[in-house]
Amino acid sequence: MPMFDFNVIEFFQAYAYQPGFVYTFIILFMTASSFGLPIPEEMTLVSAGLVAYMASNPKDFPPPYPGAEGVNLTVLCIICFFAVLGSDLVIYMLGRLFEDRIKNSRLFKKLLPDEKFEKIDKLFQKYGYWASGIFRFTPGVRFPGHLSCGIMRVPVWKFLAVDGTAALISVPTQVLLVAAYGEVILGKIKEFKIILGIIILCIIIFLLIKKLITRFKAKGSKV
């Protein structure tokens, strides 16, 4: 691994040959993301693609032991798709089954303030049940949007058809692209780490100089 010898790559490589672990965490992370927790879905998909890229290139990223099973790209795409669709369906069903409780809860009012509710309502008025697909591509309103689909009783088959089509277009595509161009992405990660290191070094130097100037000024005022 001559070109990519740094911690981030070692982290992903450690999981490239633990498929069960990867599949399980994808489901957990996608579910958490759908509930509005700060785990971006896109980050999970990019990470999944990088792991698949490494598993498909054992010469550059050797397994921990001979015959170790790597992450399967096809299985990975299927799991990512159903993890996304399944977690969206859970949110939809919560809105449909607990409509009154959710509407009257303080949490709902925090998650869906007036301006966000107006945005979701306008999308429904303009696109009808097709809005459920738009929510998939709109960060920030994905969770309340899918919840609203359940509350507004969009037929479950229409929700699955539209949201499923949107997920089928976006989810496997992202994983496949990252898996295909993993070398380029890993190279960019390395460049970013170098740039970040230079910025941090400049900040440290600036703070040290600032501290020295403050000390000299303090000594000068005492004289």
Q: Could you read off the pLDDT tens digit of each residue along the chain, which spans 223 residues?
A: 344 334 556 777 788 999 999 999 999 988 888 777 777 788 888 889 989 999 999 988 888 888 899 999 999 999 999 999 999 999 999 988 887 777 677 766 666 666 666 777 777 778 777 888 888 877 667 888 888 888 888 889 999 999 999 999 889 998 998 888 877 766 665 565 555 455 656 666 766 777 777 777 666 665 5
User: Domain ranges in the chain?
Assistant: 7-180
The three-state DSSP-derived secondary structure of the chain is CCCCCCHHHHHHHHHHCCHHHHHHHHHHHHHHHHCCCCCCHHHHHHHHHHHHHHHCCCCCCCCCCCCCCCCCHHHHHHHHHHHHHHHHHHHHHHHHHCHHHHHCCHHHHHHCCHHHHHHHHHHHHHHHHHHHHHHHCCCCCHHHHHHHHHHCCCCHHHHHHHHHHHHHHHHHHHHHHHHHCHHHHHHHHHHHHHHHHHHHHHHHHHHHHHHHHHHHHHHHHHC
pTM of this structure? 0.74
Q: What's the token pair of residue 148?
A: 């609203």
